[in-house]
Amino acid sequence: MTPSDRELTMPRLSRTVGFGRRAFLQGLAVTGGLMAIAPRIGSQATAFAAQTPQPGGTYRVLTNEQFGSLDAARAFNYMDWWISYMTLYNRLYQYDAGLQLQADLADGMPEVSADGLTYTIKLKPGVKFHNGREMTAEDVKFSFDRQLWPEVEAYGGSFLTNVVGYDELAGLPATPGAAVDAERSLTGVQIVDPLTISIALKQPQSILPGVLGIGVFGIVPKQETLEAGADWGTTTVIGTGPFKLSEWISGERVVCDRNPDYFHPGKPYLDRVEMELNVAPETAVLRWEAGEAEMIASAPPAELARIRGDATLAARIREAPSTISYRMQFSDKAPLYQDIRVRQAVAMAIDKESLARLSQNGVPVDSFLVPGIAQEDPEFATAYPYDPEAAKALLAEAGIAPGTKTIFWSGGTTRQLGESIQADLQAIGFDVELLVLEGSSLDVFIPRIQSGEIPLTSWGFGYDYPDGSEFLTIALQCGSTAGQAYWCDPAIDKMGEEIAALPLDDPGRTELLREVQRIAINEQAYLVPLYARNALILSQDYVKGDQLDPLLTLPVAENVWLEQS
Amino acid sequence: MAGRSVLRAAPLEEPLAGRGLSSPAGAAPLPNVLAAREARAARAWWVAALLRFSHQKVAMTAAGAVVLLVLIALFAPAIAPHDPAQQFRRDGLAASGLPVGPSAKFWLGTDGLGRDMFSRLVFGARISLGIGLSASLLSVLIGVVVGGTAAMAGGGIDTALMRFVDLVMSMPSLLVILLFVAIIGPSIWITIAVIVLLGWAYPSRVFRAEIMSVREREFVAAARAIGAGPGRIFVNHILPQVLPLMIVYISLGVPNAIFAEATLGFLGLGVPPPDPAWGGMIQTGTSYYRAAPMQVLIPGGAIVATVIAFNLVGSALRDALDPTIEDH
C-alpha cells in the first residue's frame, strides 16, 4: 500500500493545535462502505442481538498502525485509541449506539446547580481497577488534573478550558522526566467525598457530561500512575475496562485478556483481544480472507470494491453511518480568497458526487451538522451546488485570470481524492499545486497553512460527542488553537457563546447552531463540506455483537462475541 | 572494465585520431594532407564500430525499441487520444468505482480516477525518458570533469577529489534522495538533480582511471612537448579518446535513472500530480493489484521494456566500440 496508509500519526499536535485528531487520521486510514441507503444512526442496533451471546474465544485484529502509548490521555491514533477507549478504560459517561448519553463510571447523570456553573457527579461504588483496587474520587480528579501537565502530553486540556482553574494550570513549564507535582491541581475539580466530585465552570456549558465521555478522559489510578512514572502507558497500564493489558511488544502486537472483575455484569464475552501491528493493508485483507482475522478497519478502496463484488465476502462487511465528514477550508490570510466570489467559485467547482464515489463509502454532504448530530438540519442545502460554468463566470467577475496559481493541501483526503479536487479546480481555470500528507509529517504543513502560504486545505472531522458545538469550537470560533486556517467572524463567535450557555434541550440552541451553519457555508462560504463517510470494518460471519459505534466507528469490545460452531 | 580496453586498442595514434574523433564527420578540416588522412581514418573507425553494432540482432531490436520510445515521447500529444489528466467520471469508471478495462475509447482501460491509461503511458514516456536521458548525461559529464581534473592535476587535488567521491559513493543513495525530496519538495527538476547528485561519482572514478592511462600515451607527451597546456591537452587530445566510453556510460546510466525516478514515484515523491510518470502510475495502481492488476502491470511493463532496451543498447555499444571484442 502507499505510504499514505502507514501510520500518519500526529502525536503531540492533536487537540492542542486543535482539530479532530481522530477523524483526521481515520480519513486516511480507513475506507469502505455502502453508498447511500445506510440506515440512520440509532436504528442499526436493533438489527443485531436476538441470539444469546456465547462466552470465550480470541478476537484477532490486524492493523497497519503502531503506537507509542496506551495511556488513555495519549492514545492519539485510531487502533490504539480503540484499545484504550474500548478495552482498557472507562469514562464517567458514554454515548450508546443510539447516541444517547449514559452514565458509565458515574452513578447517574450529574446534579447541576441553578446557575449552571457547578456539576456534582456521584461515582458507582465498588468499581475495581485491573489491579483489584477500588476506584475513588481521587482517581477521577487526578485523571482530569493530569490532562494539563505538560509531561503527560495529553490532548484533553483543550476540552477543559471552561473549567475553573484551567488558566492557572495551562502553559505550565514541562518538568523534566516524569517528576510530578501533586500541587498542580485543577481547582475547579473538587473531591466532595470518596465517591463524589464536583466540577466548577467559568461559564455555563450544558454539553459538559458529553465532553467527559471523550476517550481522553478514561479514568486512570492515581497512585499507580504516579508510581509508574515514565513507564505509565507502556509497561504499566491499569484501567477499569473489560480487558486488561497482558502483553505489548512495540510495533508487533498487543494482547488484552478478559477482566473477570469488570463492573458491567456478564461482560465481556471474549477471552482475549489480540492486535497485530504494522500489517500492510493489502496483506491484512489477504489474511482476513484466509480467516486469520476477525477485524480489519483499513481496507484500501480498491480492495473494498472487489470485496463488494463478491457476495460471500460482502456479507462480512460491517457498515454504519458515522459522524465523520470532510471539508475544504480557505485561509483567511491568503489575498486570493479574501474575495467571497472566489470562495463561492471554488465551492461550485467541486464534484462532491465523484469524491463520494471514489472514497467507496462516502455520501456527499452540504453540512457539517451531519446525520447523528442533534442539530442536523435535513432541509439545509448549499447555496453553491456543483456548476463549473457558473464558477468560471464568478472567477471572471472577480478578475481572476485563468492560470492563476494556488496550492491545495489534501490533508484530510487521500492522494486520489486530492487529485480529483485538483482536476475540479483546474477545470475552472486554476493552476493547482497539489500537496499530500503521504510520507510527510503534519508538522511540516501546519506553519505553512497558518501563514496562508497554503491557502486551500481539506480536513476530516469526527465528532467526539454528537453535538454541533464541537465543530464550532474547533473550526469556526475565534481564538481556537486549531492548526487549520479559519475565519474569525464576531457574529459566529457571539452565537457560539450563547450556544454554550443554553441547556442541551433548548430549541434555541439548535436554531443558533443551524444559523451558524447557514452563515459559515452559505452566506460567507468560509468552508465547503465535501462528503460524509460511513464507518466500515471487515468482520467474519461468526462474529456477533460487533455493530459499529457511531462516534468511534469501531465495535464496542465488551459486546463482541464469537459464535462457536 | 571493458570500457577501458576500448581506448587502449584505439586503432589510431594521436594526434591524428584525437582530432578526427572530436569531429567524426571530419567537420574540422586541417590545412594539410595529414588532416585529411586523419578524418578518413576516424570515419572508418566509427563506421567499423557501427557495423559491428549492426551485426548484433538483439542490439538492433533494442535500438529500434529505444528509437520508438523516443519518437513516442517526442510526439506524445499527437499519439495520445486523450488529455492524460482528464478524468472521465461518467464512462471512465465502473459503477463500483473501479477502473474500466480496455475499450475502443480507452485502449488500455482507465486508472482509478477514470483517466486514460494509454494517454498517461505515452505522456509518461516523455517524463521517464526525459529524466533518464538528462540525468544520465549530466552524471557522465560531471563524472568526466571531476575524473579528468583529478587525473590531470594529480597529487593533493586528485586525493581530495577521490576521497570526496568515496564519500558520495558511501552514502545510502535512496535515503539521501528521499531526504532531499522531502526537504525541497517533489518536482521533475529535483528528481533529476538528486539522481545526478549521486550518479556522477561512479563514472568519475572510471573516467579518472581512463584519463590517467591516456595521459601517459605518446601523443599526449608529444603535445606537451610542443607546449600545449593541460586544458588544451584535455580538450583536444584526451576528451576525444574517452568519448566512446562516455556514450556507453550514458546509455547504461539511463536505466538507472529511470529506475530511480520510478522508485521516487512509487514512494509518492516523484513527479507531482497530475503529470503522469511511470513510477507514480505504479504507485497509484498498487492498491488495485488484485482488483485491477493492469494498473500495475502496464506501467511496470513499460519500465521493464525500457530498461532492458537501454541496457542491451548500452552493452552492445560497449562491445561495438571495443575492437578487441570484435575478434571473439
pLDDT digits (tens, 9 = 90+) for B154-166: 899 999 999 999 9
Which residues of A are less than 8 Å from B294 in CB distance?
none
Q: Which residues of A123-133 are buried (b: 16+ CB within 10 A; e: fewer)?
A: bbeebebbeee
CB contact under 8 A, B112 and A439: no
CB contact under 8 A, A436 and B290: no
The whole-angstrom distance between A517's CA and the closest CA on chain B is: 30
Q: What percent of chain B clears pLDDT 70, i.e. is strictly above it?
A: 87
CB contact under 8 A, A305 and B98: yes
Report DSSP letters for A224-273, one per residue. Answer: HHHHHGGGBTTTB---SSSEEEEEEETTTEEEEEE-TT-SSTT----SEE
B306: cell is 525500457
The C-alpha atoms of residue B97 and residue B109 are separated, in whole angstroms, by 14
CB contact under 8 A, B113 and A2: no
CB proximity B267 to A under 8 Å: yes
CB contact under 8 A, B287 and A308: no
Cell 578540416 -> residue:
B29
CB proximity B174 to A under 8 Å: no
**HEC sequence for chain B:** CHHHHHHHCCCCCCCHHHHHHHCCCCCCCCCCHHHHHHHHHHHHHHHHHHHHHHCCHHHHHHHHHHHHHHHHHHCHHHHCCCCCCCCCCCCCECCCCCECCCCCCCCCCECCCCCEHHHHHHHHHHHHHHHHHHHHHHHHHHHHHHHHHHHHHCHHHHHHHHHHHHHHHHCCHHHHHHHHHHHHCCCHHHHHHHHHHHHCHHHHHHHHHHHHHHHCCHHHHHHHHCCCCHHHHHHHHHHHHHHHHHHHHHHHHHHHHHHHHHHHHHCCCCCCCCCCCHHHHHHHHHHHCCCCCHHHHHHHHHHHHHHHHHHHHHHHHHHHCCHHHHCC
Q: Please report the pLDDT score of residue A130 as a whole number.
A: 97
CB contact under 8 A, B96 and A423: no
The whole-angstrom distance between B267's CA and the closest CA on chain A is: 7
Residue of chain B whose alpha carbon sits nearest to that of A308: B96
Interface mutation target, options B290, B294, B296, chain A, most CBs of A under 10 Å? B290
Task: Compute φ and ψ for A497, nearest 5 degrees.
Answer: -65, -40
CB proximity B230 to A under 8 Å: no
Q: Please report the pLDDT score of residue A448 as a whole number.
A: 86
Per-residue pLDDT tens digits for B295-328: 999 999 999 999 999 989 988 888 888 766 544 4
Facing B97 at nearest CB: one of A2, A305, A436: A305
Residue of chain B whose alpha carbon sits nearest to that of A437: B268
Interface mutation target, options A354, A437, A440, chain B, most CBs of B under 10 Å? A354
The C-alpha atoms of residue B323 and residue B328 are separated, in whole angstroms, by 10
Please determine, for residue B213, whether its predicted confidence score (pLDDT) is greater than 80.
yes
Which residues of A are less than 8 Å from B89 in CB distance?
351, 354
The C-alpha atoms of residue B188 and residue B272 are separated, in whole angstroms, by 8
CB contact under 8 A, A423 and B288: no
What pairs with residue A93 in β-bridges?
A103
For A469, the enclosing helix (H) or strand (E) is: helix A469-471
Q: Please report the pLDDT score of residue A127 as a whole number.
A: 97
A102: cell is 449514559
The whole-angstrom distance between A2's CA and the closest CA on chain B is: 7
Q: Please report the pLDDT score of residue A45 as a whole number.
A: 45
pLDDT (average), residues B228-235: 87
Residue of chain A whose alpha carbon sits nearest to that of B185: A435
Which residues of B are less than 8 Å from A305 in CB distance?
96-98, 291
The C-alpha atoms of residue B118 and residue B92 are separated, in whole angstroms, by 13
The C-alpha atoms of residue B295 and residue B246 are separated, in whole angstroms, by 36
Residue of chain B whose alpha carbon sits nearest to that of A427: B86
Q: Please report the pLDDT score of residue B30 as a whole number.
A: 46
Which residues, 6+ apart, have CB-to-CB distance to B59 below 8 Å? B53, B312, B313, B315, B316, B317, B320
- Three-class SS of residue A183? coil
Facing A2 at nearest CB: one of B98, B283, B292: B283
**Cis link prior to A204 (omega < 30° from 0)?**
no
CB contact under 8 A, B291 and A306: yes
Q: How many angstroms separate the Cα of B38 from the Cα of each of B12, B218, B222?
A: 9, 17, 17
Is the whole-model pTM more than 0.90?
Answer: no
Which residues, 6+ apart, have CB-to-CB distance to A478 below 8 Å? A488, A489, A490, A493
Determine contact, residues B260/B195, Cβ cutoff 8 Å: yes
Facing A416 at nearest CB: one of B113, B269, B291: B113
Q: What is the pLDDT along chain A (565 residues), one digit of tens a residue?
A: 222 322 222 322 332 233 334 434 333 333 333 233 333 444 444 445 568 999 999 999 999 888 888 999 988 778 888 999 999 999 999 999 888 999 999 999 999 999 999 999 999 999 999 999 999 999 999 999 999 888 888 878 888 989 999 888 877 666 544 445 556 889 999 999 999 999 999 988 889 999 999 989 999 999 999 999 889 998 999 999 999 999 999 889 999 999 999 999 999 999 999 999 999 888 999 999 999 999 999 888 888 989 998 999 999 999 988 899 999 999 888 899 999 999 999 999 999 999 998 888 889 999 999 988 989 999 999 999 999 999 999 999 999 999 999 999 988 777 888 999 999 999 999 999 998 876 566 777 888 888 889 999 998 888 989 999 888 888 887 766 555 557 888 899 899 889 988 888 889 999 999 999 999 999 999 999 999 988 999 999 999 999 998 888 999 999 999 998 7
Facing B273 at nearest CB: one of A1, A301, A419: A419
What value of ipTM does the predicted structure carry?
A: 0.70
Nearest by Cα to A457 from A478, A481, A428, A433? A433
CB proximity B90 to A under 8 Å: no
Facing A416 at nearest CB: one of B182, B284, B291: B284
pLDDT (average), residues B123-131: 92
The C-alpha atoms of residue A23 and residue A6 are separated, in whole angstroms, by 16
Q: Please report the pLDDT score of residue A24 as a whole number.
A: 42
The C-alpha atoms of residue A308 and residue A293 are separated, in whole angstroms, by 18
- Three-class SS of residue A217? helix
Please determine, for residue B65, whether its predicted confidence score (pLDDT) is greater than 70.
yes
Q: Please report the pLDDT score of residue B77 as a whole number.
A: 95
Interface mutation target, options A28, A422, A430, chain B, most CBs of B under 10 Å? A422
Interface mutation target, options B87, B178, B288, B295, chain A, most CBs of A under 10 Å? B87
Q: Which residues of A70-90 are buried (b: 16+ CB within 10 A; e: fewer)?
A: bbbbbbbbbbbbbbbbbbbbb
Q: Which residues of B162-198 are buried (b: 16+ CB within 10 A; e: fewer)?
A: beebeebeeeebeeebbebbeeeebebebbbbbbbbb
- Three-class SS of residue A176? coil
What pairs with residue A538 in β-bridges?
A296, A317
